[in-house]
Amino acid sequence: MSDLTLILTAVGSILLLLFLVMKVRLHAVVALILVSMGAGVFSGMSPETIAATIQKGMGGTLGFVAVVVALGAMFGKVMEETGALDQVAHTLLNKFGTDRANWALTFTGFICALPLFFDVAVVLLIGIAFAVVRRGGGSVTKIGIALLAGIATCQAFMVPAPGPILVASQLHADFGYMILFGILASIPAMILGGPIWGNYIAKHVHVELPEDHNTDDNERVGDKVPTFRLAISLILLPLFMIALNTIGGRFVEQGSSLQHWLQFIGHPFTAIITACLAAFYQLGYRRGVSNERIMEICGSALQPAGVIILVTGAGGVFKQVLIDSGVGAALGNILAGSGLPVVMLAFILAAAVRVIQGSATVAMLTTCGLIIPMLQPLGLDGAQLAAVTIAIGGGAIVLSHVNDSGFWLANKFLGLSEVQTLKTWTVMETIIGTTGGVVALLISLFL
């Protein structure tokens, strides 16, 4: 089968996925698996190969992401229920002051979203934004966009957020470099997309504070709220463990027992479960919260996590079909003579898939399937693959529109019209994604 036919099959599959999810309202898991089967058939794969590829794609993706997502969901829920995330938010607000509340909300969203999923982070933190507006900290647009920019930036570039850590694992990028490059991309991206853009667009788009948020019902009893130092320490603990492996591994003998222990300590599985246990002890046992109550909180976190795990796994199926059918290799053959850096190609591919089908996570996974065959002959190291991962994260969030759930979250919570959401949220996402892509390109030039 020709390269052009394979690529047209991939494009048609993505358009079909868009139709099934948006028009037919088919669940994303069903739609992804159904489209994967169709893509396999039309790309010339045999029936038995398609079935094996589906199993391989689901298992290969969930073997890593299911553990990370489940543990991350429990950790984030315990942090939220015990007031640890609120403490981080309110402390930053007090430090910045109401005049710079939008800056405070950007950094609040960025830090607090590390252990959470995007939609969970928005739901949990949006009340803080409304509280700031009530206290005279700025307009709904200004403060809301600032908060959303921090959350979106974290979810695009930082581990252990689900999307970046999933892509990094698929590409075998170095997690320590992911943290470093993620920070380098995140700082300018969230500043440009949050405080700067939010302050500008608030002068042109004004909405009133939603009526159901006119009273402050988000206050917690003071003596039950953990300290800021404890809360921020728990959030940074898994990042420290992952970074320890990357930094420490450079100063020990390769293949030694010590290096193997550093790899074990710095693996995301070890880092996140350690953070979970620390949270259970510090926020539960030390504060008189029963083990039964902590486990109830963990159980309540797993239900929404299960849906995300399945959707992610189904996205992995689609990715694997694109790889095994030869679509990725075909695209590589066509683009090989373009002369574009691989980081730029990764960004463009992710952006194209994002615009077509909406989901940032699916865009990241699909781009992995398209880019992996192109990366294999290049022999890139972990740091270079981390730069590619950042580029994919940037491309996967640009130009959010009506087929993206994040678009409707912003629309609903901030009380915006569809046109206003395009002017505020869509531009914000594009600024963040493009900035990340540019930073990834610059980083790749020095590696």
Which residues, other chains included, contact 264 with Cβ-Cβ below 8 Å and sequence gap of 6+?
Answer: 270
DSSP assignments along 373-429, one per residue = HHHGGGT--HHHHHHHHHHHHHHTTTT--TT-HHHHHHHHHHT--HHHHIIIIIHHH
pLDDT in tens, 12-47: 887 887 788 768 878 778 888 898 899 889 888 888
pLDDT tens digit sequence for 356-392? 666 787 788 878 877 887 787 777 888 899 999 999 9
Q: Whole-angstrom Cα distance, residue 89 to residue 87?
A: 5
Report the alpha-carbon distance of residue 81 to residue 60 in Å, rounded: 33
DSSP 226: P
∠ CA 103-105-106, nearest 5°, is 65
pLDDT digits (tens, 9 = 90+) for 278-332: 999 998 888 888 888 889 888 888 877 777 678 777 877 877 887 788 776 676 6
Report the SS3 class of residue 191: helix
Of 40, 44, 34, 38, nearest to 2 by C-alpha is 44
Q: What is the 3-state secondary structure (H, E, C) of 123-146?
A: HHHHHHHHHHHHCCCCCHHHHHHH
